[in-house]
Every structure is written in C-alpha cells, then in structure tokens.
Amino acid sequence: MVAPLETKPELVIERVFDAPRQLVWHAWTDPQQMLKWGGPRSHPIVHGEGEFKVGGEWRACLRSVETGEDLWQGGVYREIKPPEKLVHTFHWEDDDGKPENEMLLELTFEEQSPKKTKLTLKQTEFRSVEQRDGHRGGWSSALDRLEEFLATGKVISEGKA
C-alpha cells in the first residue's frame, strides 16, 4: 500500500472589486498606493521597498496599531504579467532579519466587466492549518481595506505596469 502524499495547507481567497482591473493592479503594485491600504487593520503597512521586476526583491514592514511592534516580510518576484498576474515568494523575517518559512503568493486579476475586477489570491507552503488560518484573517482584513481604498476614487492609474 502506498502512503498518501502529505499536502501542505493552502489558502485561496476570491474577491470582486467595483473597480477596473488596471486600477486594482496599480493599487496592488505601486508601493505608494499600497501604503494607503496594505496590511490588516491591526497591522497596516508603514514601509515598503523593492525592485518591481522578475528576480527583484521586495520588503515591507507592518506595524501593530496596539503595541507599535514591527513585523517585517519580504520575498522575490517570480512572475509579473500586467495587469493579469503577479507571483512572488513571501516570508516573515525573524528578529535577526532572516527569512522564515518561504511561501508562494499568486495573484490573478480578472476583468469581470469594464468596472469590476475579480482578484484571486492563492498562498501555498504553510507549515500548519493554524498558520494558514492566521493569514486568511490578515488577508481578509487587508482586502477589506483595499476595497475601501478603491471606493475613495483616489487610486492613481499610472504607476507600476
């Protein structure tokens, strides 16, 4: 008898936004715009940097609104296909700034109509169901913030393409 392959938990979230695909893409890929909505409500992004190209590294800092504690994350861009698909690695950094548990994040931006965009977020390589569920809460909160930002009409359509 062959033992079943062990599969690691994965996360898939789909969200439809009332905004054109190009605007959703720019809100996600322009660091200045991401500072306005990125991160969950409890840990908004306060700093972002990187080289937006395949093989380029990115890094961001989330800060707890409750304690002021900084949480650093980063990764490497693997695929950039404007305005359809973005794939990059994702890891949290330990206290010494070293990466922990590299995961993969794949985002697809699908035009539903000229004014609606379906975003599919897929994250894989979690260590545990608990880790996945924690990310589900964080991403859900961040996507709520993105939806609110898009509704303001302040997204700039120029930026990273």
Whole-angstrom Cα distance, residue 90 to residue 116? 27
Q: Domains of the chain, with CATH numbers? A: 11-40+79-151 (3.30.530.20)
| 0.85 surpassed by pTM | yes
Confidence of residue 120 (pLDDT cuts 50, 70, 90): very high
101-110 per-position pLDDT tens digit: 999 999 999 9
91: closest CA among 78, 104, 80? Answer: 104
Q: What is the DSSP letter of 5?
A: P
Structure confidence at residue 5 (pLDDT):
59
What is the 8-class DSSP label of residue 2?
P
Rounded to an integer, the average pLDDT of 124-137 is 96
133 Cβ neighbours under 8 A, 6+ residues apart: none
